[in-house]
A and B are shown apart, each in its own frame.
Chain A
Amino acid sequence: MTVFSALLSHYRRHPLQLLALALMIVLATMLWTGVSHLTDRARASLAQSEQAIAGQQQLVREDGQAVSVQDFADLRRQGLCVMPWLEVQRPSPEGRVIGVDPFASACFGNEAPGQAGVDALNGEPFLDIAEAAEMVRQGSEGDLSLLVPVDVEADAVPSDYRLKDFSMGPATGELGESFLLNLDALGVLVLLITALLVRSVYQLGLVQRRESFTLLRRFGVPAARVQGLLLTEMVGLTCVCVIPGIWLGRWLAEMLGAGFGQVLENLFDAPLYAVDGGGFAMPAMIMVAVVLLACFADQRVLMRLPGVTGSVPAWWFGIPVLGLGLAMVAWPFTLGWLFVGIALVFVAVGLLTPRLLSYVAQWGAEGAGAITLWQRRELAVLFRRLALPVVALQFAVAMVLAIQALVTTFEDTFERWLAQRLEAEFYVEVPVQAAAEDGVRYLESLSGLGDWHLVQRGATQVRQETRRDRAGSSVAADVFSISPIGPLVMGWTLLDAVPDAWDKLAAGQGVMVNEQLARRQGYRPADPIGFTLGEQFLELPVVGVYADYGRPEGEILVVGQILPETFTARFQSLSLNPGALPIAEIELGLAAVWNNDNLTIRDNASIRSLASGVFDQTFLITRAITVLTLVLAGTSLLIMGWVFFTTRAWYYRLLFVWGLSRREVAGQLRWLAMFLTGAVAVAALPLGVWLTWVLVSRVNPLAFGWSLPMAVYPGFWLEMLALCLMIGLAIALLMRRQLGGGVPAPAMANVTGGGER
């Protein structure tokens, strides 16, 4: 018998242990592959959806007239790649269709808007432009645009035309980026949790093979050789297990992703969901590296031979590490610094939690009855011996809590963000040469029109005289003017405000500033703010700070009435609810007063539902990922707990000797197991809340300059607690069956990990 076969003979005697180790590697690989696959896809899908709704540009005529087929032909004959886009609005249930010319879109290559190939011209919503033109001829409302590739520069455009953004919806901008950053953080956490789980199972195996190692040493086999063989064994096992793990992870991602892709296609009229399968090599190599690192990071593993599963050496080391990590997170200089701080806190929590729980379990047990004392001591032993799976479950639960809070907060924020930008049903851009006042007068003359306001945007210089800076220099900011102040804006979320803030704004007695400006310059309600409007300098109190959800520039919100004649509006638009009037009639009226047939009118309601749908699905994926992580961690604890409890079964049988009935022993085991898993959930709670706070209040402001509101969801905490208790209950039930059969007493007192008492 060779040394290697002697080592492997352990698995012949304990095939279930080999199975557990293999299963854990397969499951861990599946989880990580699935998560990374889904996050990659979510990232690609979001990027594509942004491109689909916001990444195009069009050519419009300089004279303001609507473009026609003649313009299209002229531009093509001048060598420009132009494609027609005829959007036809039909009454429900037919809805919107888009006529495209597959011949003309050929020059866009794969970047053709909406991927409008000939094979997709089935009216859902793309169809051949001749059919769309026929609908227009029969009375439907049609709007022709001429799209050009995004890389066309302004100087390549003939002088009679100019480039203009072509958008089917609002760019999600930094809100989306922020979400993706958090998805990445989630992926790293998942990898950490999988590493912990694999390590815990491997350590359990090592403990049970301790006698074999001792025997080999007595036969003169050097420790280094045994170490090398163990490494070979794990490399072989990992290589065998990662392949089905990756395959299962892909399958899982496909299952979860298919619905997502379907929804994206429906929303964006294009196969947006990224379907690139990627290779097997990279995930396999990463997983092998993680498994080997998790199992062999401690090179002296054989020398130390941990007495029991996942012993926690130098737990006290966690205290300074925790302090350092918390300090780094509290005062983060850079994003990298912050992430290091978070990692340190996790390391510290991993070191401290088992020991802490162990102490808590024994706390106040002195003087209690024999059974209670045994219970507490046994629980303390369990916390120490099951340290790694306990910490893994704690991390998983904490992560799930944080992600749930983050996703819910994101959803809420995104809804508010949409509400802020798309409150009105329609948005009408005031043409460059047109007088906005003419449009305002026209709207004022209409009866039956719903709420509306005029938006004028321009630039200002804000004098820096705040609590932080009294130097008197100035900083550039945007002016966001609205008139009249009405219900369309009064529902905005104000982070801070004086009483009757909207009334004061409407009366011109104050201004509001966005979160960005308030953060940068330290403005609070009632602070005076000095700023320029055109050639005029004004000083007014800040009456409110409004959430801006990622707008990078500082901004001052003023009522339109205080704008002086010298103020130059960079951009003007009308937001309106048509009320009892048809939008087509309003459009015609505005086109007449502005003498421009080519008005840009956006249907905000459809854009809102479109954008909400995409984010809903992205959030759905994220939730699925977190649930999967929890399932794996729970399964791991279940396996580990069961195996570990089994090793102590002979010990639990002594309870019968003490005179406890079978039912009482089962009750003791139930108490032990449920207390164990319940305590993990409780221990995970502060970590989860802290992680949520870090993500919304530290990571986001550092990465993007704005914060998400912090919210906690106690109902969800209870759900997590219930889940953990169910895991404990399952362990207890399995043990009850185990104790039902005969359990041999150990040959030696320390033959198993359950040797401690």
Chain B
Amino acid sequence: MTWVIQTLRWGLMAIVLSLSACSETPGSAGFAGLAEQVEEETFAQPAPGDRLRFPEDFGPHPRHRIEWWYLTANLTTEQGEPLGLQWTQFRQAMVARDPAGPAPEPDSWPLDAGWMAHAAVSFQGQHWFAEKLARGDIGQAGATADPFEVWHDNWHLQVEGEGEGDGHWRLQVDGEGWSYDLRLTVNGEPVAHGEHGFSAKTASGEGSMYFSLVDLVIEGEVTLGGETFGVSGQGWFDREWSSQFLKAGQQGWDWFALHLESGDKLMMFRLREAGGDFLSGTWVTPEREVFPLGPDGIRLEKIEQRDTADGSVPVQWRIQVPGRQADLNVVAPQGHYWNDGLFPYWESPVSVTGSHQGEGYMELTGY
């Protein structure tokens, strides 16, 4: 779940594309002037009454402007060392399209949508990152719901062995001098965030459709600088789509997805705004009971900052969920975890102590 930074990143890229295509100067209205680039009303807007549908919602949503598929994993090597990794694929539409209607002809090299993929590995204080870009509708990058597959060049996440790999996915990624090849076992049903999947992002009600698979068992191999490590551990998978970009005044985003040793799972985010932060989250019990957390149900406190060449970021947090008697101390390991792509942001594994022990992932933007 990387809603805010992704919209920012994609928004800026959309401007670049629009500039190159029509050489017009964007206006200043809306966040980064994006409202001037694409007419909002042509895209479908998520609303509180919307419902999730499976398996369709694993696939793309051409009527919506932005969406992403996102996986984070807290793994351990055979030598017992922690290793974190992430993979994200984004779709950014310039033109809304009816899913039942005809897709643009690939021969026209259409620019109705663009795709971006990110992947990173964090190990022993080091961070490897790669980024890919593609235009949509030509086959270079895309996604299908059934059979489930998301690909970008030779990176792909797909159901393994069509028809017989029920519940097993395979994720293959390679960067420069590093790669990973993972098998993922999906346990449990998708967890709908917010109100049946509608996750509010502002106090005034704008939001996105958002669900997660919070219990992935992962094993496979990670190769770093010619050395291959057998790895295993747990992962978290997000699907989110929307049509609204951030509003002016929203400065950045702090997002956490935590696996607690008690079997509980916690997702929470905070949008930092000049007029007051917006917090939201979801608590999932070991029995898969889902408790949406509103702004009053969570407290987030910054404990410690870390200075890096790319900026100072908070690396230690206190998260309190009074309704679940949770008082968590969340800390990033030593190292710098900037994803140094078109628009840099911080993304690192974290360890959890306090009322609960655990691990997870943290994404920080706007620092």
Within 8 Å by CB of A103, from B21, B23, B114, B139, lies B114
Encode B344-365 as 1/0 by CB contact (under 8 A) with A. Answer: 0000000000000000000000
Report yes or no: A78 in contact with B154, Cβ–Cβ below 8 A: yes
Encode A92-129 as 1/0 by CB contact (under 8 A) with B. Answer: 00000001011110110000000000110110000011
Give the chain A neighbours of B139 by CB distance below 8 A. Answer: 69-70, 73-74, 77
Report yes or no: A72 in contact with B16, Cβ–Cβ below 8 A: no
Give the chain A neighbours of B110 by CB distance below 8 A. Answer: 130
The segment from B130-138, B251-259, B266-274, B322-330 that touches chain A is B130-138
Complex: how many Å from CA A129 to CA B21? 10
Give the chain B neighbours of A119 by CB distance below 8 A. Answer: 16, 20
Q: Which residue of B lies closest to A86 (CB)?
A: B109
Q: Which residue of B lies closest to A105 (CB)?
A: B133
Give the chain B neighbours of A72 by CB distance below 8 A. Answer: 138, 140
Complex: how many Å from CA A23 to CA B101? 77
B153 contacts A by Cβ under 8 Å = yes
Give the chain B neighbours of A134 by CB distance below 8 A. Answer: 108
Complex: how many Å from CA A129 to CA B135? 11
Q: Which residue of B lies closest to A132 (CB)?
A: B109
B151 contacts A by Cβ under 8 Å = yes
Give the chain B neighbours of A101 by CB distance below 8 A. Answer: 109, 135
Complex: how many Å from CA A74 to CA B140? 7
B188 contacts A by Cβ under 8 Å = no
Within 8 Å by CB of A73, from B19, B108, B138, lies B138
Complex: how many Å from CA A103 to CA B342? 12
Complex: how many Å from CA A103 to CA B16? 11
Give the chain B neighbours of A520 by CB distance below 8 A. Answer: none
A662 contacts B by Cβ under 8 Å = no
A9 contacts B by Cβ under 8 Å = no
Report yes or no: A104 in contact with B20, Cβ–Cβ below 8 A: no
Within 8 Å by CB of B111, from A70, A122, A130, lies A130
Report yes or no: A129 in contact with B109, Cβ–Cβ below 8 A: yes
Give the chain B neighbours of A70 by CB distance below 8 A. Answer: 106, 139
B41 contacts A by Cβ under 8 Å = no
Report yes or no: A69 in contact with B111, Cβ–Cβ below 8 A: no
- Per the 8 Å Cβ criterion, residues 92-142 of B in contact with A are 106-111, 114, 132-135, 138-140
Report yes or no: B109 in contact with A79, Cβ–Cβ below 8 A: no
Give the chain A neighbours of B23 by CB distance below 8 A. Answer: 122
Give the chain B neighbours of A664 by CB distance below 8 A. Answer: none
Report yes or no: A118 in contact with B140, Cβ–Cβ below 8 A: no
A76 contacts B by Cβ under 8 Å = yes
Q: Using known A-B contacts A73-B140, A130-B109, determine if residue A118 contacts B16 with beta carbons closer than 8 Å.
A: yes
Report yes or no: A130 in contact with B20, Cβ–Cβ below 8 A: no
A470 contacts B by Cβ under 8 Å = no
Complex: how many Å from CA A84 to CA B153? 14
Complex: how many Å from CA A574 to CA B238? 59
Complex: how many Å from CA A69 to CA B134? 13
Report yes or no: A128 in contact with B111, Cβ–Cβ below 8 A: yes
Report yes or no: B106 in contact with A73, Cβ–Cβ below 8 A: yes
Give the chain B neighbours of A441 by CB distance below 8 A. Answer: none
Within 8 Å by CB of A76, from B17, B21, B111, B153, lies B153
Report yes or no: A68 in contact with B21, Cβ–Cβ below 8 A: no
Report yes or no: A133 in contact with B151, Cβ–Cβ below 8 A: no
B206 contacts A by Cβ under 8 Å = no
The bracket for how many chain A residues form the interface is 20 to 34
Give the chain B neighbours of A79 by CB distance below 8 A. Answer: 153-154, 174
Complex: how many Å from CA A133 to CA B133? 20
Q: Using known A-B contacts A102-B20, A128-B20, A130-B111, determine if residue A69 contacts B154 with beta carbons closer than 8 Å.
A: no
Complex: how many Å from CA A132 to CA B153? 23
Complex: how many Å from CA A552 to CA B29? 64
A131 contacts B by Cβ under 8 Å = yes
A663 contacts B by Cβ under 8 Å = no
Give the chain B neighbours of A76 by CB distance below 8 A. Answer: 134, 140, 153-154
A137 contacts B by Cβ under 8 Å = yes
Give the chain A neighbours of B20 by CB distance below 8 A. Answer: 102, 118-119, 121-122, 128
How many whole Å from B10's CB to the nearest CB in chain A? 13
Report yes or no: B154 in contact with A99, Cβ–Cβ below 8 A: no
Report yes or no: B154 in contact with A128, Cβ–Cβ below 8 A: no
How many whole Å from B150's CB to the nearest CB in chain A? 13
Q: Which one of B19, B111, B151 has the highest number of Cβ atoms from chain A below 10 Å of its Cβ? A: B111
Report yes or no: A104 in contact with B134, Cβ–Cβ below 8 A: yes
How many whole Å from A79's CB to the nearest CB in chain B? 4
Give the chain A neighbours of B17 by CB distance below 8 A. Answer: 118, 128
Report yes or no: B21 in contact with A69, Cβ–Cβ below 8 A: no
Give the chain B neighbours of A77 by CB distance below 8 A. Answer: 139-140, 151, 153-154
Give the chain B neighbours of A131 by CB distance below 8 A. Answer: 21
Give the chain A neighbours of B21 by CB distance below 8 A. Answer: 121, 128, 130-131
Give the chain B neighbours of A78 by CB distance below 8 A. Answer: 154
Give the chain B neighbours of A128 by CB distance below 8 A. Answer: 17, 20-21, 109, 111
How many whole Å from A217's CB to the nearest CB in chain B? 63
Encode B5-31 as 1/0 by CB contact (under 8 A) with A. Answer: 000000000001101110100000000
How many whole Å from A119's CB to the nearest CB in chain B? 7
How many whole Å from A59's CB to the nearest CB in chain B? 15
Complex: how many Å from CA A74 to CA B114? 18
Report yes or no: A133 in contact with B108, Cβ–Cβ below 8 A: yes
Complex: how many Å from CA A129 to CA B109? 6
How many whole Å from A506's CB to the nearest CB in chain B? 47
Q: Which one of B135, B138, B151 has the highest number of Cβ atoms from chain A below 10 Å of its Cβ? A: B138
- Per the 8 Å Cβ criterion, residues 60-91 of A in contact with B are 68-70, 72-74, 76-79, 84, 86
How many whole Å from A524's CB to the nearest CB in chain B? 58
Complex: how many Å from CA A129 to CA B137? 14
- Per the 8 Å Cβ criterion, residues 33-71 of A in contact with B are 68-70
Give the chain B neighbours of A107 by CB distance below 8 A. Answer: 132
Q: Which residue of B lies closest to A122 (CB)?
A: B23
Report yes or no: A133 in contact with B154, Cβ–Cβ below 8 A: no
Complex: how many Å from CA A439 to CA B269? 69
How many whole Å from A131's CB to the nearest CB in chain B? 7
How many whole Å from A144's CB to the nearest CB in chain B? 9
Complex: how many Å from CA A118 to CA B16? 7
Give the chain B neighbours of A69 by CB distance below 8 A. Answer: 106-107, 109, 138-139
Give the chain A neighbours of B174 by CB distance below 8 A. Answer: 79
Q: Which residue of B lies closest to A106 (CB)?
A: B133
Give the chain B neighbours of A122 by CB distance below 8 A. Answer: 20, 23
Complex: how many Å from CA A565 to CA B151? 53
How many whole Å from A623's CB to the nearest CB in chain B? 38
Report yes or no: B133 in contact with A103, Cβ–Cβ below 8 A: yes
Q: What 5 A-B pairs are tightest by C-beta distance, nearest first?
A: A73-B139, A79-B154, A121-B20, A103-B133, A129-B109
CB<8 Å pairs between A and B, sample of 27: A69-B107, A69-B138, A70-B106, A72-B138, A73-B106, A73-B139, A76-B153, A77-B151, A77-B154, A79-B154, A79-B174, A101-B109, A103-B133, A103-B135, A106-B132, A118-B16, A118-B17, A118-B19, A119-B20, A128-B109, A130-B21, A130-B108, A130-B109, A130-B110, A130-B135, A131-B21, A133-B107
Residues of B within 8 A of A (CB): 16-17, 19-21, 23, 106-111, 114, 132-135, 138-140, 151, 153-154, 174
> Knowing that A104-B134, A104-B135, A130-B21 are A-B contacts, what are 20 other residue pairs whose CB atoms are under 8 Å apart, sorted by A's residue number?
A69-B106, A69-B138, A73-B106, A74-B139, A76-B154, A77-B140, A78-B154, A79-B153, A79-B174, A84-B109, A86-B109, A101-B135, A106-B132, A118-B20, A128-B17, A128-B21, A130-B108, A133-B109, A134-B108, A137-B108
